[in-house]
């Protein structure tokens, strides 16, 4: 759900993109590719996904009601993803969305 065309349009107009539901409402956390990247870096899946947003210059505000997860989600400033990690995550794009589509929203 990476919204590449929308991000490109934003970039051309100097608009910062905020990622709504940056963890896919939790659905992206069990993806095998994400889990493998997390294992390689010794990190949690959520941390890998948050780093992906950060490294693309996206504004990500993950939600959690769980104190340990909130701490985990903040602890993302001391590692970075490799080029191959970023490419592997880009390849996961499904073109789907969680929320309504503005072009068909009534």
Ligand X SMILES: NC(=O)c1ccc[n+]([C@@H]2O[C@H](COP(=O)([O-])OP(=O)(O)OC[C@H]3O[C@@H](n4cnc5c(N)ncnc54)[C@H](OP(=O)(O)O)[C@@H]3O)[C@@H](O)[C@H]2O)c1
Q: Which of 21, 56, 86, 92 binds ligand X (CB under 6 A)?
A: 21
Three-state secondary structure of 31-72: CHHHHHHHHHHCCCHHHHHHHHHHHCCCEECCCCCCHHHHHH
DSSP letters of 10-31? HHHTTPPPEESSTTGGGGGGG-
Q: Of residues 52-71, which lie at the interface with ligand X (CB under 6 A)? A: 61-66, 69
User: How many CA atoms does the CB half-sphere of 31 hold within 13 Å?
Assistant: 22
Interface with ligand X, residue 76, by CB under 6 A: no
Q: What is the CA radius of gyration of the chain?
A: 14
Largest separation between any pair of C-alpha atoms in the chain? 44
**Is residue 38 a contact point for ligand X (CB under 6 A)?**
no
Q: Does 5 bind ligand X (CB under 6 A)?
A: no
Length of the chain: 106
Q: How far is the CB of 4 from ligand X (least distance, A)?
A: 18
Q: Which one of 1-9, 21-29, 31-39, 78-86 is the stretch in contact with ligand X (CB under 6 A)?
A: 21-29
**Is residue 2 within the footprint of ligand X (CB under 6 A)?**
no
Q: Which is nearer to ligand X, 26 or 57 (CB)?
A: 26
What are the residues binding ligand X (CB under 6 A)? 20-26, 29, 44, 46, 61-66, 69, 72-73, 99
């Amino acid at each position: 759900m990476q919204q590449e065309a929308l991000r490109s349009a934003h970039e051309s107009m100097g608009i910062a993109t905020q990622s709504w539901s940056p963890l896919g409402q939790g659905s992206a956390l069990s993806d095998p590719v994400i889990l493998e990247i997390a294992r390689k870096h010794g990190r949690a899946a959520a941390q890998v996904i948050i780093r992906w947003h950060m490294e693309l210059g996206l504004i990500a505000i993950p939600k959690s009601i769980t104190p340990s997860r909130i701490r985990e989600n903040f602890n993302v400033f001391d590692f970075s993803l490799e080029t191959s990690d970023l490419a592997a995550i880009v390849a996961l794009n499904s073109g789907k969305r969680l929320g309504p589509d503005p072009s068909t929203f009534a």
